[in-house]
Amino acid sequence: MNPERRAEDEVARLRDVLGVEVHIHHDPVTARDEAILRRIVAGGQDRVSASRRRIRLPVRIAVAFGIVTAIAVAGFVVRGAQAPALAAPPMLTYSMSNIQAVAAGSAPPASEALRAIAAEARRQPVEEGHGAQQVLSFAWYINTVVDDEGNTEVELAPTRQATTIGPDGSFSSQETRTPALSPDGRVVDPDRYPVGGAHSGDELPAGTFDAAYAANLPRDPHLLRESLTASQGGPELCGTSDVAAASCLGAAVADLYGRWVVPADLSATVWAMLAAEPALADLGEVTDRLGRSGRAVAVPPDPAGANQSLVLVIDAGTGQLLSWEQVSMSIPDLQINEPTVTAFQAITSARWVD
The predicted-structure confidence for 17-43, as pLDDT tens digits, reads as follows 444 444 433 344 444 444 444 443 343
Of the two residues 66 and 190, the one the predictor is more confident about is 190
* Spatial strand order in the sheet of 293-299: 199-204, 171-177, 152-165, 132-146, 340-353, 321-328, 308-314, 293-299, 281-287
Confidence label for 84 from pLDDT (cuts 50, 70 and 90): very low
* pTM confidence score: 0.75
Query: Domain locations in the chain?
Result: 3-84, 86-127+210-349, 132-204
What amino acid occupies position 206? A
Candidate from 39-48, 112-121, 176-185 with smallest mean pLDDT = 39-48
Q: What is the pLDDT of residue 198?
A: 64
| Most confident of the ranges 3-17, 24-38, 103-117 | 103-117
Q: What is the pLDDT of residue 289?
A: 94
Q: Looking at residues 334-352, what average pLDDT do you find?
A: 89
Cα gap 201→162, rounded to integer Å: 9
- Cβ-count burial of 150 within 10 angstroms (0-12 exposed, 13-18 middle, 19+ buried)? exposed
HSE-up of 283 (CA within 13 Å, CB side)?
A: 30
Assess contact for 231 and 284: CB atoms under 8 A: no
Candidate from 80-94, 246-260, 298-312 with smallest mean pLDDT = 80-94
Q: Looking at residues 259-269, what average pLDDT do you find?
A: 98
Confidence label for 197 from pLDDT (cuts 50, 70 and 90): low
Confidence label for 193 from pLDDT (cuts 50, 70 and 90): low
Cα gap 15→72, rounded to integer Å: 13
Task: Find residue 132's DSSP bridge partners.
Answer: 353
Taking CA atoms, 101 is separated from 70, 108, 198, 329, in Å, by 31, 9, 39, 12
Q: What is the pLDDT of residue 302?
A: 84
Confidence label for 11 from pLDDT (cuts 50, 70 and 90): low
Q: Looking at residues 258-275, what average pLDDT do you find?
A: 98
Cα gap 286→204, rounded to integer Å: 36
Please name which of 324, 59, 81 lies closest in space to residue 170, comparing C-alpha atoms.
59
